[in-house]
Amino acid sequence: MLSSYHLRPASGWINDPNGLTFHDGRWHVFYQHNPAGPVHGDIHWGHASSADLVVWEHHPVAFGPQTGGPDAGGCWSGVFVPGLDRPAVVYSGVVASAADATVCLRWGSPDLLSWGAPQVVAEPPPGVREMRDPFVFDWEARRFALVGAGLHDGTAALLLFDASEITAWRYVGVVARADAPVCRTLPPSDVWECPQLCSVDGVTVLILSLCTHGAPPGPVVWVAVDIDAASYGADRRVRVEAGPQLAAIAWGLVDTGPNFYAPQVMTDDEEPMLIGWIPSRTPHDPDVPVAGCLTLPRRLAWQDGALVSRIDSVAAQALTGSGAGQEVGSGRHTLPGAARADVPAGRLTSSSDPALSLQLTDAEVWVDADVVEVYPAGGPAWTARGTGEWLLEIPEDLTGTLQLLV
């Protein structure tokens, strides 16, 4: 089954969203992409842009591995670098395996359609088994970068680099570890991938995708961190020169579903916006020409001590149009292939996999063929991919609303 309104290429492989940015009046999303087929390999950066986050214009592949270059084995995850005098992205360049990944930079044209050759700006420091997925941010009027890592002692960690000189980063040190207070209660993992740092309603939130070798990807967690308490001592200047430190306070799941990974966050004039990857179920159907898609754009909020999300209002309006939904009563309903349901209570189940099921309470349900995204009021989202239709069961004496999507 092929999704119709979730972002995906017409064919090939798609995984992590990369380089999210709002540029010249359009949202741009790059993504890891194998244009040759629906399998992971020979990773390029695909590229699409949109004015409403729903109708996407697919551009030519942005760039791919350079023969003999630092990304000859793949152009993996990274971000758009804000605040420079010309467009630039940084990403993980792989040669033979994840263990040899470096951070590569490419300069782009003003329209983001052409990109120069890769240049290495950071290499793995001593004690690091593997590192990947740079995230660039500003702190105290200086540019820094977080890079996900796994240390030689088996601990997942985050590395901090001073990226003031964008073409030559300086390694600062390990800024967070899985065996530190609070973080030691996270689900176990070998590598922290795709780190994202943002402010949500005044709370500094770190988002981590947890990778365990040989296991399905995930989960994705949020970690509330205190930068000020960890970074500022009695002599503020000394601590500032040392770079920001992250003290974890609490954590939770960004999404509780089985098919969600590697989200990236973009900040504009509204709340931070998140887009993640929805993997295909395995084994992949050989008759389907594309594997994977991206989530709908989600706006983040801090509610009752936890990170919650909802569909971006612009995208929701573009999908639903001006039409009103129809009332659906109690009983079991087969949901259409492109629909939104508002459900006070009930249960959602995959018709082909009864174990893939979720109890609903005051939830928005967005269905797109075999993909479903559920947004309970006040709780984390739930993202799943089935192999058949989605069934909605509403208890007696209750009603929901169903709307077909344009």
Structure confidence at residue 230 (pLDDT) = 63
Q: What is the pLDDT of residues 109-128, one digit of tens each?
A: 999 999 999 999 999 999 99
- What's the rounded Cα separation, in Å, for the pair 322 and 240? 51
Is the predicted pLDDT of residue 286 greater than 90, yes or no? no
Per residue in 240-274, pLDDT tens?
Answer: 677 898 999 999 999 999 999 999 999 887 889 99
Tell me what pLDDT residue 387 has: 84
Kindly state the percentage of the chain with pLDDT values over 90.
87
Average pLDDT over residues 280-297: 88
With pLDDT > 70 as the criterion, what percentage of the chain qualifies? 97
Mean pLDDT, residues 219-223? 99
> What is the per-residue pLDDT for 281?
82
Strands 306-311 and 261-266: unpaired
What are phi and psi for residue 54, nearest 5 degrees?
-125, -50
The answer to whether residue 325 scores a pLDDT higher than 90 is: no
pLDDT value at 237 more than 80: no
Q: What is the rounded CA–CA span in Å between residue 301 and residue 161?
A: 28
Model pTM score: 0.96
Of 230-244, 268-282, 323-337, where does mean pLDDT reach its minimum?
Answer: 230-244
Average pLDDT, integer, range 33-39:
96
pLDDT at 180 (0 to 100): 95
Mean pLDDT estimate for the chain? 94
Residue 301 predicted with pLDDT over 70: yes
Q: Give the model's confidence band at 236: pLDDT under 50 very low, under 70 low, under 90 confident, else very high.
A: low
Is residue 229 predicted with pLDDT exceeding 70? Answer: no
- What average pLDDT does the segment 376-387 reach? 94
Span 369-380, average pLDDT: 95
For the chain, domains (ranges, CATH) are 9-123 (2.115.10.20), 320-404 (no CATH)
Per residue, the 3-state secondary structure of the chain, as one string, reads: CCCCCCCCCCCEEEEEEEEEEEECCEEEEEEEEECCCCCCCCCEEEEEEECCCCCEEECCCCECCCCCCCCCCEEEEEEECCCCCCCEEEEEEECCCHHHCEEEEEEECCCCCCECCCEEEECCCCCEEEEEEEEEEEECCEEEEEEEEEECCCCEEEEEEECCCCCCCEEEEEEEECCCCCHHHCCCCCEEEEEEEEEECCEEEEEEEEECCCCCCCCEEEEEEEHHHHHCCCCHHHHHHHCCCCEEEEEEECECCCCCEEEEEECCCCCCEEEEEECCCCCCCCCCCEECEECCCEEEEEECCEEEEEECHHHHHHHHCCCCCEEECCEEEECCCEEEEEEEEEEEEECCEEEEEEEEEEEEEEEECCEEEEEECCCCEEEEECCCCEEEEECCCCCEEEEECC
Which pLDDT value is given to residue 235?
64
**88 has a pLDDT exceeding 70:** yes
Q: Average the pLDDT over 358-376 and give the result.
A: 97
- pLDDT, residue 120, reads 99
Average pLDDT over every residue of 50-73: 97
292: pLDDT confidence band, cut at 50, 70 and 90? Answer: very high
